[in-house]
Structure 1
Amino acid sequence: MTLHSVHTLSTGWEFKCDTDEKWLPVAEVPTNVHIDLMHHGLIPDPFEDTKELEVSWVAERTWHYRTTFPTPSDARTNGANIDLVFEGLDTFATVTVNDRVVLECDNMFVEHRVSVGELLAAETEAENTLEIVFAPARRRGLEIVAAHPEHDFIVHQTEVSRGPVRKAQCHWGWDWGPILLTCGPWKPVKLETYVSRIQDTRVNYDIHISQGAQPVVEATVHADVLGPAAEVVVELIMPGERVVTLRDRNGDVPGGASSWSYTSAKLSIEDPPLWWPRGYGPQHLCQLRVRSIAGDGVTILAEAQQAVGFRKVELIQEEDQFGRSFFFRINGVDVFSGGSCWIPADSFLPHISNQRYRDWIELLAEGNQNMVRVWGGGIYESDAFYAACDELGILVWQDFMFACASYPTYPDFLASVTTEAQQNVRRLRHHPSIVLWCGNNEDYQLIERYNLEYNFESDKDPLSWLKSTFPARYIYEYLLPNIVKAESPSAIYHPGSPWGNGTSTTLKVDPTVGDVHQWDLWNGEARPWQQLPQMGGRFVSEFGMVAYPHADSLERFVTDPAERYAGSRTMDFHNKAVVHERRLLAYVGENFRTEWAAAGGLAAFAHLTQVLQADALAAGYRAWRRQWGSRQGDGGGARRCGGVLVWQLNDCWPAVSWAIADYYLVKKPAYYAIKRALAPLAVGVSRKFHDWTTRPADELWRRNTGHVDPRRALTDIRFDVWVVSSRLESVRGKVRVRFVSVRTGQEVRQSIEKEVEVQPNGCTEVLEGCEFDWGEAVVPEPEHFVIYASLWLDGAQVSSDTSWPDPIKYLDFPDRGVEVKRVGQGLVEVTAKRPVKGFVFSERSGVHLDDNGFDLIPQEEPKVVRFEGTTEELAWTFVGR
């Protein structure tokens, strides 16, 4: 007798277009139609060249998928239930079993379970036919828009049809991704046979943490069991073989209850193994196992198992001298959240394997990042994604799937969203890595742009919001928070990103409250990246700069050698950012000499964009992490900036974008710049920025350099040096500051050395507002020099940072005396006789470096880089070469 079996229907499928008669085999489910068409050579790879344009017709057709499966043996004679489980159908799908309609769905984020026992062939092992018909998402979206004239469908980034469709919003294209409207069974399809099954488990808990005392967890276990069961057994297996076992019998009901919602008595666990974010402690995980037992006390009718981590999470929003704080406190410890925003790792979601998810999260961890934000225009990610975050200590900021639109609120839409939210909160709530649920991405910004109704203080009636010109407020401030509270009571909810507690929700960045998206870099005013230290907020949840991938990646998706130049038709096509031609060239031109790019072609231009991106992002991370401060000072309110998340970590296709690692997981120099800025101990140095491009006279003179005195950059020099720490204990060390001539490599004045005690979990100022006095210099007249700061512990250098004169294009780079040589297995040493800006090895897929995109300073310890994955010499370059 099969009491509980799950058979994944992954093979034996075929598909066709509604205009064709011939069915074609499907290699494997999960899949989508583009994958299957490419498999048969019926469409080109849309990731190559401009071939995205050649596959647009696919989204206009109706597609059929079908398979057969046998009736489970003994299922009828033993009275077992038979369900078809569709973990995800993309998106408008009609499902038939033996020509009977069993399901119609319109939400790719929702799992469906259908009882099909009475529809199957009577004889066991007889074949049954399962067919799924997928209608075009864009066409259906336009039909819904037309059917609801009472709603103003305001949709940004794409055309209007995506507004009412519960599908990955980026499938309509974005300013970094292609228009690829997929369809198909994108998640597994399963046939489940059971007498009893466990349909839900949950652990609710509180952690009591007192200074000087061991933490205590008080937990309650819930389990919903469907079908007869005489007993429920719950085991909580903790590290070190510590096991808590709970049993509950239902002996009064013959054969057990037909449905059972089990709730344990409250457990008290002293000194529990806590889960910590990366860098703050171990990532302890417990295993929760729930079993339903038959009346004989031996037969296991069903079993469910999941990992659980115990941690206390608080979002600290307190009034202080800067406004209102916004940072996370984990297990009583303030944590600076340094990380990245995440988009789907592939436009074709079934292509993302569990290992590829793991590789991405390992890349985060290796880069000293401790948070990832799952952006609201993609998907609720795979279990493998969150499991990797749990194991590696990466905090997750989880958006609900709403982005850049004013969403409707008609009853069917709200019902679908309710199911979507309930299911995904239930699926993900046991992951200790998830520390915040956020209602949407940038939807509140439409309020100002379109003058929509929003009265946060005066209108507290959710029903009235439905009648306003911004009805989606009902979703973000009533529906979703109540679902989160019901399904995961201890979870933190934030209505939107950016959002400032009702006081700041619009296009204007408010640095005093909530989280901010800082897009006056690149977008908006397109301000110089050097101004980023003055452009922060209480939590910067988006900012970024566009850069090219490495040459090897470019050659993989630009197949025509004639198109491999900056600004070619193909290169422009793979950069979806609005007016990128003007913005990227403007930033490159402001900072670098155009001749440096012209001399080396595409690779040289790509290199300059990479150095630009690395400089910009490092400036943001360094300056805003410096604002983390220390709660030991300023009355305990110095957490001016609680976190920084770059837009973006990854790409969904091969592209020129904001990503710091490209589609092939090849890291750009910016990745390493962030890694250095987020090191557990990191020294920083900055100098006064002389804005050579803005407002020399008045507001009408923007972007004019003709009346700026460039000599001031040589004579008016003030600099700061500081050390940031994520360690929880103070550290004694030494900071050394050198002033090195760009021209000669010699010091222009005596270096500064200071003994420092680095305060724990904050910033220690070493030098503030120091004026460089040329009277102390050893050179006859002012010249350009770099300021090089290094931090030393026990005679070893643990961190360094370099401040260059701006703009770099005003500098000359004669022979730098660079030498690159192998010094051991997997080791290469790089030295220079004069300062070098932006030394970059050209990386490629499969090659791993532990550092890249660094500056070189003479008379310092040689830079040693570890590498693996190749025995060949890697090409390298630097600015001005």
Structure 2
Amino acid sequence: MSESFSSQPLKNGWIFRDAGDDDDEEEEEAKQWLPVSQVPSVVHLDLLDNGLIPDPFIGLNEQKVEWASHQDWVYRTTFWTPASCSSDTRHSLVFEGLDTFATVTLNGTVILRSDNMFIPHRVDITDAILNHSTSGKNVLDILFESPVRRGREVVKSHPEHRYIAHQTEVGRLGARKAAYHWGWDWGPILVTSGPWRPVRLETYVGRIDDLWMQSTVVEDLSSCTGTLYVQTESRSAGWVHFELRDEANIIFEADVDVDTDGKAKTGFKLDNPTLWYPHGYGEPKRYELVAKLFKGDTILHEASKKVGFRRAELVQEKDEHGQSFYFRINNIDVFASGSNWIPGESFLPRLTDEKYRDWLKLMIEGNQNMIRIWGGGVFEPEIFYETCDELGILVWQDFLFACASYPTYPEYLESVEQEARANVKLLRHHPSIVIYAGNNEDYQIQQTYNLTYDYDTDKDPNSWLKSSFPARYIYEYLLPKVVEEECPGLPYHPSSPWGGGKHTTDPTIGDIHQWDVWHGTMQPYQNLASMGGRFVSEFGMEAYPHIHTIDAFIDNPDEKYLQSLTMDFRNKARDHERRLGSYILQNFKIKQDFKSYLHLSQLAQSETMVFAYRSWRREWGQAKDRRCGGVLVWQLNDCWPTISWAVVDYYLIKKPAFYAIARASQPLAIGVSRTYHEWVSGHARPPKTSRFHVWVTSSRLEPVTATVEIRYIPIATGKDIKSASILQNTKISPNGTTEILTEPLDYTQPPYTEPIVISATLTVDKKIISRDIDWPQPLKYLNLTDRGVNVEFLADQSAIRVTAAKPTKGIVFEERPGLWFEDNGIDVVPGDERVIAVKGIGSAHAVPRWTYLEDDREG
């Protein structure tokens, strides 16, 4: 970095206080100036640090801190005027994010007003600090007004719009702020305020304001052409030196004069570039783009970004099933197996780079290759996308609108455009981002409330503004315009879900959110095989976390039972007891003790993942016949310790469902299932006949020769009822689905008169690389006691060996921080021992508690 440019984080030395006039004695202490540990911060963290509120993540404390969201707060710091090296030296304050209604005052003069959490700001303060005083000491105040009060006031000031907001109050629609802060069906009501992203003081003569690239990889992948750009801020024109580096090697460079608009650009071409590929399909190769700004021979500023070259296409072609929806990267059809991401914290400044990396590394560990950033959260920080680039994780980025009918008055549209443009500019160098979507579920709001939407005939954006669904203007005109102008060619999708004007539940087109399991009609999860679509971007099932996480939020031991106020309070989902209880009751024999119910909830979630990922991935099919292009579970993570749809909890402790997804998403995964026989609608009777299918899905790009073995094992005895079907030298087609076997089952004739599991294994190079086991449904009709399970710790291998004398369902080892399991939540059949690598276990005595379905061991 040149000495001509300096960037000083204003991280320490801040204080804060209540800015209100209320003289309530109980809150008087909070009105004194109090220390701030560091910025970025939000007021709840600073109140917590100063002992003024209890930890809202424990017990019922969320209610005890609500008052903080209704107060105004002021933050203050001081800084010294930097020495100026020349008359051309400029000084700026940079605010990467102010949450949300903020008035910034420098030395008593207002320099900025902001009402959008997602817009970064840069303010030139040169004259303000040089003319302030001879002392050189400057006072910076930021007043944050209550987002709850201000949001409600904004709504009232625009009565011309019909405000509709699901999950939370309509006041959130008056603030460009993370929607989940108002509470969601998995998160608390913690409406934050404060300098939530870094504040910096920058001094410079000239600076690079933006560095970016637009590039195109030709269809045969043999070359890449494009343009490198720099936008500068300088009082006098200079020149820019561009470089593209492959590690230490410079593969392209050019010197370009800065024009009168402060811009410099140069074309480039690379022959045979090494391309960026998603995880499982190749190396996520990146290059370094460097720009240096000169005035004469003096370097004023240097900037660099890591970039990648790839062709990214969203394939939407008419076919016999409707219209496809899948991604093609570098001419390779890519099945998207992944997760939805909500913000990883209620208090975002608490998230560290290390924790972001740990979250995203779980994606790779779980054989997932796409993450969808949900529209009720935030544009994530650079470390999130940087890590996705590095690991090869595809990113689906929603714009930040969720579950509502948003207004479109002129000031709002102007703010939304600034927000969208600023963030697309910040993110456009990331090869991992392959799609922007306009919102989350806002077209479902349109359908639910019968808001005006004439997709086929009304193509006039101005008329949309006058309709009862004016936000169509944002999703189908404003946002795609911004994306095309700032990041040409990147796929844009008006909403998630959305199907080209058809109903959002139409399985033949676009993406769908499949919530008729859990929500809606509460279909059995065994029905999921017939409930897919062209791309399933949301579906899920709730489950309790492991007991460690429950212990972390229970502050009263008397509340540690299923129906306690604390347990109900922690689960924000509507009708959660009835819905989760129904799925457990329909599928499992019920034990009343706490840990058994916890285990059953985890099995219900894990089984849901099996039926979804296994069957929908099967519909990946072959080229030109991609019936399903991807599956994204709701959700990967939590923002606080809770009971939710997350497959990994707040402490990064994995639930069994995480492993079920990982097994179904392996590069080569075998699947086996029999025809589903419905039993829940009344007159339950066992089926007389059925049919089972065996198949293999592959994401490998070359054919594989494998051995498939299918066994038929009685649940009562564990002794095979007939010889295994062994299919040697089976050719597995690349990047698709290979159907292996279909056979009838006649339960009225031997040997199928007793309940059996069908076990299938896939062996490559003499090693079993994938297993699947199909069970008669529902599991509650089976006698699964006395399974003869044996667990042995193998110290020399840092592993656990699991065997069973009879087919065993859902062996779960209790997880906690510091432990790591290669697999968990497994089914085991006789003769197929499972050896699971582990970390954090030093001896046989340290093996954590484990259980299985209908575990009849004492204790």
1:102-155 Cα distance to aligned partner (Å, 9 max, x none): 111100000011111111155677210000000011111111111111100111
Which TM-score applies when normalising by structure 1? 0.94
Q: How does 1:448-847 map to 2 (within 5 A)?
A: 448-505=447-504, 509-595=505-591, 598=592, 601-631=593-623, 636=624, 638-694=625-681, 704=682, 707-710=683-686, 712=687, 715-755=688-728, 756-772=730-746, 775=749, 777=751, 782-825=753-796, 826-847=798-819
1:224-270 Cα distance to aligned partner (Å, 9 max, x none): 111134321000112572421111246xxxxxx67521121x32211
Distance 1:410 1:769 in 2: 62
1:704-735 Cα distance to aligned partner (Å, 9 max, x none): 3xx2223x2xx423111000000001111111
Change in 2 beyond 3 A, CA 1:61/1:550: same
Alignment partner, residue 24 of structure 2? none
Distance 1:183 1:790 in 2: 54
Change in 2 beyond 3 A, CA 1:494/1:823: same
Q: State the Cα distance separating 1:169 from its structure 2 match.
A: 0.2
Q: Is 1:7 aligned to residue 38 of structure 2?
A: no
Contact persistence 2:103–2:112 (CA under 8 A) = yes
Alignment partner, residue 25 of structure 2? none
Q: Is 1:17 aligned to residue 18 of structure 2?
A: yes
Alignment partner, residue 308 of structure 1? 307
Contact persistence 1:226–1:259 (CA under 8 A) = no
Alignment partner, residue 233 of structure 2? 226
Letter aligned with residue 709 of structure 1: R
Distance 1:98 1:401 in 2: 34
Distance 2:268 2:735 in 1: 33
Q: How does 1:98-497 map to 2 (within 5 A)?
A: 98-120=107-129, 122=131, 126-210=136-220, 215-227=222-234, 228-239=236-247, 241-249=249-257, 259-264=261-266, 266-295=267-296, 297=297, 299-497=298-496
Distance 1:772 1:802 in 2: 19
Secondary structure, aligned partner of 1:801: strand
Secondary structure, aligned partner of 2:262: strand
Distance 2:691 2:247 in 1: 53
Match of residue 52, structure 1, among 56, 62, 78: 62
Distance 1:69 1:151 in 2: 44
Indicate the larger mover: 457-466 or 551-560: 551-560
Distance 1:391 1:368 in 2: 15
Contact persistence 2:707–2:727 (CA under 8 A) = yes
Match of residue 36, structure 1, among 36, 46, 52: 46
Alignment partner, residue 23 of structure 2? none
Contact persistence 1:226–1:258 (CA under 8 A) = no
Q: State the Cα distance separating 1:164 from its structure 2 match.
A: 2.3
Distance 2:808 2:635 in 1: 27
Letter aligned with residue 565 of structure 2: R
Q: State the Cα distance separating 1:2 from its structure 2 match.
A: 4.7
Q: State the Cα distance separating 1:3 from its structure 2 match.
A: 1.4
Q: State the Cα distance separating 1:451 from its structure 2 match.
A: 1.0
Letter aligned with residue 768 of structure 1: T
1:15-55 Cα distance to aligned partner (Å, 9 max, x none): 00124552001000000000001001110110101110110
Q: State the Cα distance separating 1:814 from its structure 2 match.
A: 2.6
Distance 1:803 1:124 in 2: 80
Distance 1:406 1:334 in 2: 35
Distance 2:735 2:584 in 1: 36
1:371-418 Cα distance to aligned partner (Å, 9 max, x none): 000000000001000001000000000000000000000001001000
Alignment partner, residue 822 of structure 2? 850
Contact persistence 2:13–2:77 (CA under 8 A) = yes
Q: Is 1:61 aligned to residue 62 of structure 2?
A: no
Q: State the Cα distance separating 1:815 from its structure 2 match.
A: 1.4
Change in 2 beyond 3 A, CA 1:772/1:287: farther
Q: State the Cα distance separating 1:652 from its structure 2 match.
A: 0.4
Deviant stretches of 4+, over 6 Å:
none
Alignment length, in residue pairs? 838
Distance 1:820 1:708 in 2: 37
What is the root-mean-square deviation in Å for CA atoms of aligned residues?
A: 1.4
Contact persistence 2:252–2:268 (CA under 8 A) = no
Letter aligned with residue 268 of structure 2: L
Structure 2: gaps of 5 or more residues: 21-27
Q: Is 1:93 aligned to residue 102 of structure 2?
A: yes
Distance 2:442 2:233 in 1: 39
Contact persistence 2:747–2:754 (CA under 8 A) = no
Distance 2:743 2:433 in 1: 40
Q: State the Cα distance separating 1:771 from its structure 2 match.
A: 3.0
1:671-714 Cα distance to aligned partner (Å, 9 max, x none): 000000000000000011111112xxxxxxxxx3xx2223x2xx
Which TM-score applies when normalising by structure 2? 0.96
Contact persistence 1:848–1:869 (CA under 8 A) = yes
Secondary structure, aligned partner of 1:120: helix
Contact persistence 2:256–2:265 (CA under 8 A) = no
Indicate the larger mover: 753-762 or 97-106: 753-762
